[in-house]
């Protein structure tokens, strides 16, 4: 009898967990060590200047003075091997007006990717070409007549506190949005979901939206923000859509990586967008467990998921297989609608069924749902990102409301 209960308990434990998905090219997502930054200030009293990384989302691993005006900024990833997404973010404080040059130094095999953004108290601005010299795989940044405190960053800083502030802003007078903590990261940071629908969630088709799996991919996060803001806009289309569908939006999948200023990985040293087969990392495990439990509780069927990222240019990565999904013609209609409503815009689609355990593959293979990796270019203008994000949401809502 005791053996029977042990077997029964084991059966319950196994059956309650999410089903693992086999991919053609599996990835071992067991945790690996990472190198933490030394959070400190690099001071040069004779030049009346200092550099620091004492804030969430910062990344520099050292500063040295080359000559009277040139400083070397040392930037290293959290571990290797890793994607070439050489992220940096730091504060400069100058006690006198001066012109200096910053030479960015990366480990061998890695090169410069992001054009520096600057904020000297008057908002974020992209560095002009005249202030940049490209030296093989590195850059020299010229900072002219600087004084006081300023931020230099690969992309605008959007750490977990910034995301929290955005969530609080959109929650105002929106009782139909539930902000839920569904788990914790390796370092104890909360994993959030925004549960959005009007009326009862029961029996509604379910849409999933993710972002910030990769910390530096801020432009994808900006598109996600604009997209979600349009979904909750007080207009007839959004009203009809949210009465028919339920949305689960995950605004910060990898909060440890974001706040630690990582190039790509979480605190377990893993690319979370390779963990959608075995769910070994707490972020993906928490998300998949929550989705499974809540869709079972409310009898929801996943019909679609969009995962917002950034790369060198705007592109939508889609699955070739569509006939097994609920809306086989949706993507063609969605892209056509975007092109029709965005001036001088042509959708760049790259279709292939996922061979590695990424989110769009999990959406297809585990759920027979439409899966899209929604990529925004690193340097796509912020105005265009907002337009693409809002328009893609408008077209999506109109199409799905008619299905």
Q: Is the pLDDT of residue 9 over 80?
A: no
Mean pLDDT of all residues in the chain? 96
pLDDT for the residue numbered 138:
87
Rounded average pLDDT over 350-374: 99
pLDDT band of residue 317 (cuts 50, 70, 90) is very high
Rounded average pLDDT over 142-155: 99
Determine which of 8-12, 77-81, 322-326 has the lowest per-residue pLDDT on average: 8-12
pLDDT for the residue numbered 8:
42
Class of domain 41-153: mainly beta
Chain region(s) in the chain for CATH 2.60.40.3120: 41-153
Q: Are 185 and 267 in contact (CB under 8 A)?
A: yes
Q: Is the pLDDT of residue 10 over 50?
A: no
Share of the chain above pLDDT 90, in %: 95
Share of the chain residues as helix, strand and coil, in percent rounded to the nearest 5: 30, 30, 40
This prediction has a pTM of 0.95
> Is the CATH code 3.40.630.10 the one for domain 160-402?
yes
pLDDT for the residue numbered 3:
45
Chain region(s) in the chain for CATH 3.40.630.10: 160-402
Residue 327 φ then ψ, to 5°: -130, 80
Residue 18 CA to residue 8 CA, distance in Å, equals: 18
Q: Is the pLDDT of residue 302 over 60?
A: yes
Give the model confidence (pLDDT) of 157-167 as tens digits: 999 999 999 99
Rounded average pLDDT over 265-293: 99
Rounded average pLDDT over 68-94: 98
Give the model confidence (pLDDT) of 234-259 as tens digits: 999 999 999 999 999 999 999 999 99
pLDDT for the residue numbered 16:
60
Share of the chain above pLDDT 70, in %: 96
Give the model confidence (pLDDT) of 16-40 as tens digits: 679 999 999 999 999 999 999 999 9
Locate 332 and state its tokens: 């063609």
Spatial CA neighbour of 306 closest among 236, 182, 396: 396
Give the model confidence (pLDDT) of 170-196 as tens digits: 999 999 999 999 999 999 999 999 999
Residue 8, number of CB atoms within 10 A of its CB: 10
């Amino acid at each position: 009898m005791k053996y029977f209960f042990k077997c029964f308990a084991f059966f319950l434990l196994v059956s309650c967990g999410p089903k693992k998905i086999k991919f053609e090219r599996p990835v071992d997502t067991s945790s690996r060590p990472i190198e933490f930054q030394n959070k400190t200030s690099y001071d040069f009293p004779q030049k009346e200047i200092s550099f620091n990384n004492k804030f969430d989302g910062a990344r520099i691993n050292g500063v040295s003075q080359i000559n009277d005006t040139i400083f070397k900024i040392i930037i290293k990833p959290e571990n290797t091997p890793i994607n070439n997404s050489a992220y940096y973010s730091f504060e400069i404080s100058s006690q006198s007006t001066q012109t200096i040059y910053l030479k960015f130094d990366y480990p061998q095999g890695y090169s410069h990717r992001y054009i520096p953004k600057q904020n000297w108290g008057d908002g974020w601005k992209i560095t002009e070409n005249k202030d940049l010299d490209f030296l093989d795989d590195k850059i020299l940044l010229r900072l002219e007549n600087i004084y006081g405190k300023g931020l230099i960053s690969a992309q605008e800083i959007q750490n977990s506190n910034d995301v929290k502030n955005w969530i609080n802003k959109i929650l105002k007078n929106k009782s139909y949005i539930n902000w839920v903590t569904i788990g914790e990261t390796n370092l104890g940071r909360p994993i959030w979901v925004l549960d959005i629908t009007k009326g009862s969630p029961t029996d509604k088709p379910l849409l999933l939206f993710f972002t910030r799996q990769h910390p530096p991919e801020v432009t994808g996060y900006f598109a996600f923000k604009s997209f979600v803001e349009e979904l909750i806009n007080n207009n007839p289309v959004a009203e009809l859509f949210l009465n028919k569908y339920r949305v689960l939006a995950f605004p910060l999948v990898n909060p440890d990586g974001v706040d630690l200023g990582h190039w790509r990985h979480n605190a377990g040293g893993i690319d979370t967008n390779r963990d959608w087969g075995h769910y070994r990392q707490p972020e993906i495990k928490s998300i998949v467990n929550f989705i499974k439990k809540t869709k079972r509780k409310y009898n929801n069927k996943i019909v679609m998921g969009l995962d917002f990222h950034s790369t060198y240019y705007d592109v939508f990565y889609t699955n070739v297989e569509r006939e097994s999904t609920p809306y086989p013609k949706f993507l063609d209609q969605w892209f056509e609608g975007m092109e029709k409503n965005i001036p001088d815009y042509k959708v760049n689609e790259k279709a292939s069924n996922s061979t590695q355990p990424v989110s769009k593959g999990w959406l297809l293979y585990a759920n027979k749902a439409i899966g899209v990796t929604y990529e925004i270019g690193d340097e796509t203008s912020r105005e265009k990102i907002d337009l693409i994000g809002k328009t893609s949401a408008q077209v999506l809502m109109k199409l799905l409301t008619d299905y």
